[in-house]
Chain A
């Protein structure tokens, strides 16, 4: 009989075609509409920033993997790509290039690899970088170029206007502009329509579930809605809160980051609720006009706690069943 070398491995011998790459690049695909539209609004500088952010994140990932003696292919597993993309979408299109590169460094080297790399990081790397930049370079990070503006003409974002000038000042921003995205803001956050389109792609392909985004958005909507109903002259409408700032980008693409959100359904509900509540509180009474990044990062920190709460319950159940 012919000789065949037999390989012995463990069952199961069939595996689904899912992979880290597939998960990550699908998130990138889902972010494509928002990215393309932002380039349309904010011009070539948005495009350069996006490419620069992605390339530097992949570069840092490659370098760290080399230093840590890890597989070099990890740089192309899509996670650095997505972090780079999200970072770019979270900064104004006028941000100096060197600042963005610092952001990429903070995201990949500090927020991801100092915690152990993909799967071990507690905080969403892109958000850590964004908050780092916001605190270090507050002016550059809140200078919002206006859509179709010439020569980097800037203005405050709708949420900024609300914070400084009150409700009256935002009355004439049209619902259509807020939905389509023709307002000031970070590169990728302005178009609600494009973001929802991308989110539908992820939902349809089951890369994310509605649990976190829905509980997040509904909580912000409900909380800001209560105050709007009580005093519409002082508080903006909940629709305004949902459509402006980074709420949709955060709720669909960053709070849903698998690595930094709870695994179980109950934990996810609590996580989304916490994100929504903190966002609303910061927006209504905080020092910053926008609170999505802070809210998600604070909730990220609580994930181990939420998970262990969920698991202690499972442990209890297993114990009872064993009896």
Chain B
């Protein structure tokens, strides 16, 4: 079993939905599809209020190099394009689509699987781009950009990330169990894009034995390795995953391709397969609905733009003990302020939790126990960041590797003084970046 060498934690796994097959959520009557579901610029709307669209039709066009297309996720009428609560915490331009109940596909979309071997590399990348595929593990980086690294970078390793190290989340797990063929087909397509010989891996944490088995069945027909990884957070963080599988270390300021690696989430690989072979845009994804507090825990296949309120009504009302709704996992997710926010391409889960017991409001002084240093997978000094930030000495932080922090939250998890370490780190990054901008302006 492989793992990364430094730091890491093991929070309670709470994979409450690991045995629940993926269910399909009925199409809601109204959808709120954000034009920002990826890293980079929001897509430019190409539809008008009142216009009828079919499922899979382009409604937002990638605006520039780092941006991604957005499609109608069912057929119906565009109601409005306006600012709306976004699961990331801000407001974002959003297309409102009223479903006509027909769920009628655009001609030529979602076809029978075609053989991609005859496609040129350029064709493949164009299909991925047209389908609006972005990294579905969290960051939402446009996949066509990621798969076309600068010419001088020699890629020798392609990794699919099936670690799913966040507690509670099981959406990748279920996808690996139920759609291994599509995922592996996606992996083949991705590796075919590199002219150098590449070694392909799928990294899966050891607590997902059935997923490992499901994928390993295909290992004989195609040369790749399913790597069993120690169940340890943040096993699925790009830098840690690369270290676990290849032993290589991504230094500060480097990207995976600097060390010859390309990492994609298993969900992304599946989306690549559907985009290339079935001409199907990325309009749906698997979302884990979970939390200790709620009865109906599910893995749901949901179309993008489904509002949280629709998911809640489908799962039965939530008990009054719930006081937080988290988009994403409990380690790196975002607390929601509105049920109107919607599922986007990067939404891996919705958690309903009660955090009365957490007592996060009372930060106490650092007792210098060193637990945060021990937990940090990036070899940083989290306590120092926090102490300096609280003294407002923000400019001191970058010298200690502030921007090498992946915001994994391990330090905050272990701190006995309940210090909001990651929060201070994010805050400091924002301040340092702003100061830099102001200086160069």
Stretch at the interface among A50-58, A101-109, A147-155, A315-323: A315-323
Interface pair A13/B335, CB less than 8 Å apart: yes
B167 touches A14 (CB 8 A): yes
Q: Does residue B355 face the partner (Cβ distance < 8 Å to A)?
A: yes
Interface status of A114 (Cβ within 8 A of chain B) = no
Contact between B12 and A14, CB atoms less than 8 A apart: yes
With known contacts A20-B416, A263-B370, A13–B330 Cβ distance under 8 A: yes
Given known pairs A9-B324, A10-B360, A264-B373, the reply for A18 and B416 (CB within 8 Å) is: yes
A263 near B368: Cβ-Cβ < 8 Å: yes
Complex interface: chain B residues within 8 A of A120 (CB): 365
Q: Which partner residue on chain B sits nearest A261 by CB separation?
A: B368
Beta-carbon contact of B324 and A11 below 8 Å: no
A314 x B413 contact (CB < 8 A) = no
Indicate whether B371 reaches chain A with its CB closer than 8 angstroms: yes
With A1-B309, A2-B317, A22-B416 known as contacts, the answer to whether A8 contacts B365 (CB < 8 A) is: no
Contact of A13 among B353, B361, B404 (CB under 8 A): B353
**Cβ–Cβ < 8 Å partners of B364 in chain A:** 20, 118-119
Q: Which residue of A lies closest to B387 (CB)?
A: A119
Which of A5, A9, A118, A314 has the largest number of chain B CB atoms within 10 A?
A9
Binds A, one of B144-152, B197-205, B417-425: B417-425
Using Cβ atoms and an 8 Å threshold, which residues of chain B touch A8?
A: 324, 335-337
B29 to chain A, nearest CB (A): 14
Chain A residues touching B, range: 35 or more
Chain B residue contacts of A11, Cβ below 8 A: 326, 330-335, 409, 412, 422
Known: A1-B309, A10-B422, A13-B324. A20 touches B367 (CB 8 A): yes
Q: Does the CB pair B422–A12 fall under 8 Å?
A: yes
Q: Flag whether A259 is at the interface (Cβ < 8 A).
A: yes
Q: Are A14 and B368 in touch, CB under 8 angstroms?
A: no
Residues of B contacting A18 in the complex (Cβ-Cβ under 8 angstroms): 371, 414-416
Task: Evaluate whether A15 and B369 lie within 8 angstroms (CB atoms) in the complex, with A7-B335, A9-B360 already known.
Answer: no
A254 to chain B, nearest CB (A): 15
CB-nearest residue of chain A to B372: A263
Interface residues in B324-368 by Cβ distance below 8 A to A read: 324-326, 330-339, 351, 353, 355, 358, 360-362, 364-368
Given the interface pairs A5-B323, A315-B399, A319-B399, the reply to whether A14 lies near B11 with Cβ below 8 Å is yes
Question: In residues 138-165 of chain B, which contact A (Cβ within 8 Å)?
Answer: none
B367–A12 contact, CB under 8 A?
no
Measured between alpha carbons, how far is A172 from B201 in the docked complex, in Å? 69
Given A11-B330, A20-B364, A263-B370, residue A6 in contact with residue B335 (CB < 8 A): yes
Interface class of chain A by DSSP: loop
Measured CB to CB, the nearest residue on chain B to A263 is: B370
Q: Which residues of chain B are near A119, meaning CB under 8 Å?
A: 364-368, 417
CB-based contact B167/A15 at 8 Å = no
Asked whether B383 is an interface residue with its Cβ less than 8 Å from the other chain, the reply is: yes
Q: How distant is the Cα of A204 from the Cα of B335 in the complex, in angstroms? A: 36
| Inter-chain contacts of A117 with B (CB < 8 A) | 365
Indicate with 1 or 0, residue by residue over A297-323, a CB within 8 angstroms of chain B CB atoms.
000000000000001001100110110
Grouping DSSP codes into helix (H, G, I), strand (E, B) and loop, the B interface class, with mixed when no group exceeds half, is loop
Question: Are B253 and A258 touching (Cβ within 8 A)?
Answer: no
A23 CB within 8 Å of chain B: yes
Asked if A321 meets B251 with Cβ closer than 8 Å, knowing A1-B313, A9-B324, the reply is yes
Q: Is B312 an interface residue (CB 8 A)?
A: yes
**Contact present for A1 and B360 (CB under 8 Å):** no
Cross-interface CB contact of B355 among A13, A22, A261, cutoff 8 Å: A13
* Chain B 260-289 interface 0/1 with A at a Cβ cutoff of 8 Å (1 = within): 000000000000000000000000000000
Is B322's CB within 8 Å of the partner chain A?
yes
Task: From A71, A258, A318, give the contact of B252 (CB < 8 A).
Answer: A318
Contact A311 B332 (CB under 8 A): no
Interface residues of A in 50-79 (CB under 8 A from B): 71
B332 adjacent to A258 (CB under 8 Å)? no
Closest to A316 in B: B399
Contacts of B361 in A (CB 8 A): 9
Nearest chain B CB to A314 CB, angstrom units: 6
Q: Mark B381-418, 1 if CB is under 8 A from A, else 0.
A: 10110000000000000011100100001001111111
Q: Does B318 contact A (CB under 8 A)?
A: yes
Asked whether A12 lies within 8 Å of B368 as measured between CB atoms, the reply is no
* A164 interface contact, C-beta 8 A: no
In the complex, whether A4 has a CB less than 8 A from a CB of chain B is: yes
Q: Is the CB of A4 within 8 A of B320?
A: yes
Closest B residue by C-beta to A77: B364
Answer whether A318 and B324 are a contact pair too, CB < 8 Å, given A9-B355, A12-B413, A119-B366. no
Please name the 7 residue pairs, one residue from A and one from B, whose CB atoms are nearest each other, closest first. Answer: A119-B365, A12-B409, A318-B401, A18-B416, A10-B423, A13-B330, A321-B252
Q: Can you pick out 12 interface pairs between chain A and chain B where the beta carbons lie within 8 Å of each other?
A: A1-B313, A2-B317, A6-B337, A11-B326, A11-B409, A13-B330, A14-B330, A19-B416, A20-B364, A263-B368, A311-B381, A315-B399
12 additional contacts, CB 8 Å, given A12-B331, A16-B416, A119-B367? A8-B324, A10-B422, A11-B326, A12-B413, A14-B12, A14-B358, A16-B413, A119-B366, A315-B399, A318-B252, A318-B399, A318-B400
| Interface residues of B, Cβ cutoff 8 Å to A | 9, 11-12, 167, 251-253, 309, 312-313, 317-318, 320, 322-326, 330-339, 351, 353, 355, 358, 360-362, 364-371, 373, 381, 383-384, 399-401, 404, 409, 412-418, 420, 422-423
